[in-house]
Amino acid sequence: MSGSGSSFPRDVQHTCQGALPAHRTGLASPKSRFANIPGPGRRKCMLLVGNAMCLIATAANCPAAQGSTASAQTSPETPARQADLPDAQTSLDAATTLVRWVRKWSVGDDEPSGLSGASVTLRLDGRVIGHGATIESPEKALSAAARRAMLRALPNLPDNWHARADDARQRITVSVELAGPLAPLDAHSDAELALGISPGLEGVAVRIGNRVAARYPLQMVSAREPASTAVRSLVSELSGDATRALAEIDELRSLGYTFYRFRTVQLAQIDPRAAPVFLHRGGRVIDTSELTMPRLRVMADGMASNLIARLWPGVEPFGLMGTMDPVTGRAETRAEHPAAQALVVSALARYVATPGMDAETVRKARQTIHQVLDELAEVADGEYEPWADASTSAAVIVALTDAGQLVPEDEQVHRMRERCVQTVLMGFDPQEQSFPPSLDPSGWGIVSLALVRLSRQDAALVSREHAEAAVRTTFRQTDPRNLVSQFPWLGWAEIELAGADQPIKARVALLEARRLIDEHQLDPSTLAPADRDLAGAIVYTRAATPLPTWNSIRPLPLLADMLADPRLTSGSLGEGEVAREFAHLLGLVRFTHQLCAGPAEGHMFARPDLAMWGVRMALWDPRMPLESTALGLQGVCRTLDAVNAVSARKTQIPKHANPQD
């Protein structure tokens, strides 16, 4: 049912190297090589408007937009043109040659010339069976790497390999990285090592004397190995002394170690019967033109299916499993924290209520909601209780209200709700207008939303004044630069307080938060070509290397709702703010799609069938928390609703809009 006793939300556990949780740092100007965001007065947000308007038009069956998906999906992915990397034809010839060698299980001497280093990985039914790598090889680099991979694969082949050799060889998939030249890495600390490497695109190498060892980018992605760890591992490998790697970087330099980085061309077989394809950071770059209405529905169906597949397969009432590592095909915990499971219930409930979804997936989603709530209520010894803290209890209350008629009529579920209600009531003091010190500030927003929901269900239990006091206190005591840490919960609480036809009191604060989010979104026009897969992400951290992770998509569901609400986004298809804000929203949806695992990324996974459409922690960290996929599903479903809402608008001034705001 439930996992560890950590409080909700668990940003610190689900944040990658180089990026800090939003509630700790807030929004800040990105200053890394990933972006060079111009000031608000100069920033041009209209590059995506054409695609945004075409997406809106698909609500009215725009043929051009509906046709764009197929053409984008069939376009080959090619590596960035860089003079120091093997060219596209040489790279493709190398990968094709490698596949031929593996099928014959014999390395030939017919590899393309000019390759200075290669990393070869062999997988059988998704499981790595052999790997070999060379760097600055005095012999033929691809041949040497292939021989090592095939030799290392022999102990890992099936027992009946000799009996069915041809059969087994046809099931092996091949991936290869071809290295460019080594470039000196001027780093004097672990932090500077992280600064100098573009994760998923660049590898690291270490030289001592005339010996050199390297770790390739996709090796590091699969192992979730940061640059500093990889460098120290290479030092141990070259020295034969595990303790040597514990030395400071400057000390290692004084001992004669030299550090390098290098970029690679990446190719892999997505299917054992298919030809190798070019990859970028181990996957495929998603183009905004793919984001048609049908594609968004495919995304929603896929993410819902991924969440449904995360149910614990045993007989124990564990509900949903914890963070999935698709590289191994295993979950980190048998049962996830109840707050995360509650987020999944809310997301699946929104999916069920969204028109146009796949009927069979909707049926399974209904069953999953029922099962998860039923098993959340059954707490075994050692499991974390849903009513143990205010923010977790609030997540459960929100899930129960989102599920509505899908909540099981069960005495245990009723008792769980009552206990959670009591805990939420202790999460805010309306007399003192304060949250208890034991409640992490990151939980204020969801506690406020739960109180608003309770006040609408039973005013005798929670008055409107009580709920509104919690909302106002959260707005008042949260630094405006950190307001996104309370999203989407606080924004939903404010909108629900106002109802459908009353002014939104915190309208100016919500609009300012959206402006800050827009300002710190990575603009494709300012990104280097190699970093085009980061377009649309939000940078939250003031750290030296603001690397975007799944935390970027936290505000997506609320931003979609704000677009759909004429009180927060004025205008129509022909005028006003809609086009500009839709361009920003579409960029964030694109990044969400980029984070989703697809067939191109599946070549790295032991169980790609379980990984498809899961939202990864980062483009270089394949782990999949429940929260990331749940919020992604909420965001896509609400974006679909927003498209329909703005499509139906007429050109008019919203009733409660204030032109001076």
Alpha helix segments (H runs only) across 42-177: 49-57, 63-74, 88-104, 141-153, 165-171
Q: Is 241 helix (H, G, I), strand (E, B) or coil?
A: coil
482 phi, psi to nearest 5 deg: -105, 10
pLDDT value of position 32 = 39
- Which among 288, 290, 291 is positioned nearest to 524, based on CA atoms? 288
Contact 150/100 with Cβ under 8 angstroms? no
Cross-strand pairs, 596 = 615
pLDDT value of position 28 = 46
CA dist 48 and 582 (Å) reads 9
CA dist 649 and 44 (Å) reads 25
3-class secondary structure per residue, 259-289: EEEEEEEEEECCCCCCCCEEEECCECCCCHH
Contact 519/40 with Cβ under 8 angstroms? yes
Which pTM does this prediction carry? 0.87
Q: Is 311 helix (H, G, I), strand (E, B) or coil?
A: strand
Alpha helix segments (H runs only) across 603-625: 608-611
CA dist 392 and 390 (Å) reads 6
Reading the block at residue 121, the tokens are: 């990985």
Burial class (CB in 10 A: 0-12, 13-18, 19+), 84: exposed
CA dist 324 and 614 (Å) reads 9
> Domains of the chain (ranges plus CATH)?
22-67+292-647 (1.50.10.20), 88-279 (no CATH)
pLDDT value of position 344 = 98
CA dist 602 and 606 (Å) reads 8
- Residue whose structure tokens are 């040659």: 97
Distance of CA 198 to the CA centre of its chain: 17
CA dist 158 and 396 (Å) reads 47
Q: Name the DSSP letter for residue 62.
A: -
Whether the bond between 326 and the residue before it is cis, its omega within 30 degrees of 0, is no
pLDDT digits (tens, 9 = 90+) for 3-15: 443 333 333 333 3
**Residue 660 pLDDT more than 50?**
no
pLDDT digits (tens, 9 = 90+) for 355-409: 999 999 999 999 999 999 999 999 977 789 999 999 999 999 999 999 999 999 9
**Residue 534 pLDDT more than 60?**
yes
- Which among 580, 460, 604 is positioned nearest to 521, based on CA atoms? 580
pLDDT digits (tens, 9 = 90+) for 4-60: 433 333 333 333 333 323 333 355 444 333 433 333 333 433 444 445 545 554 444
Band (pLDDT 50/70/90 cuts) for residue 657 is low
More confident residue, 636 or 314: 636
What type of residue sits at position 471?
V
**Residue 345 pLDDT more than 70?**
yes
Cross-strand pairs, 265 = 178
CA dist 637 and 352 (Å) reads 10
More confident residue, 128 or 168: 128
pLDDT value of position 90 = 95
Q: Average pLDDT, stretch 324-347?
A: 95
pLDDT value of position 163 = 67
Reading the block at residue 319, the tokens are: 């509900």
More confident residue, 68 or 583: 583
Band (pLDDT 50/70/90 cuts) for residue 242 is confident
Give me the count of residues in the chain. 661
Distance of CA 92 to the CA centre of its chain: 29
CA dist 421 and 132 (Å) reads 57
Band (pLDDT 50/70/90 cuts) for residue 514 is very high
Band (pLDDT 50/70/90 cuts) for residue 607 is confident
E-assigned strands of 423-564?
A: none
Q: Average pLDDT, stretch 568-586?
A: 87
CA within 13 Å, CB half, 642: 31
More confident residue, 169 or 164: 169
Q: Which residues contact 476 (CB under 8 A, 6 or more apart)?
A: none
- Residue whose structure tokens are 């099936």: 158
- Which among 630, 661, 621, 654 is positioned nearest to 8, based on CA atoms? 630
Contact 150/105 with Cβ under 8 angstroms? yes
Q: Average pLDDT, stretch 601-621?
A: 93
Band (pLDDT 50/70/90 cuts) for residue 159 is confident
CA dist 607 and 603 (Å) reads 10
**Residue 562 pLDDT more than 80?**
yes
Number of Cβ within 10 Å of residue 213's Cβ equals 17
pLDDT value of position 659 = 45
Among 10-14, 131-135, 608-612, name the one with the lowest average pLDDT. Answer: 10-14
Reading the block at residue 362, the tokens are: 């909707």
How many angstroms separate the Cα of 36 from the Cα of each of 107, 287, 521, 525, 526? 46, 21, 11, 9, 6
